[in-house]
Amino acid sequence: MKNDDEPSHETQNEWENDPNNWIWGMFYYNRKDKRSYFPKKIKQFGWHANYADPSYSIIILLLIAIILILIKYSR
């Protein structure tokens, strides 16, 4: 059964192929796309993250905070 939040295959392809949804051609940023992660074109190469997803922003901020704390206390 298909999830109602899941975009259609055609919509996914449109979003993924639209250069406006890619920052510097590397970072996927699409507020319309509710997926946090999606597979790369060649599935063996891993996954892309949707940087527009709020949960991903929290993860990035936590990682930055951990790195800054480690730098501060390693001196």
Over residues 19-47, the pLDDT tens digits come to 899 999 888 999 998 888 888 878 888 88
Helix (H) or strand (E) holding 75: none
Interacting residues of 7 by C-beta distance below 8 A, sequence separation 6+:
15, 33, 34, 35
Interacting residues of 35 by C-beta distance below 8 A, sequence separation 6+:
6, 7, 50, 53
| Positive/negative CA dihedral, 68, 69, 72, 75 | negative
The answer, as to whether pTM is greater than 0.95, is no
pLDDT at 1 over 60: no
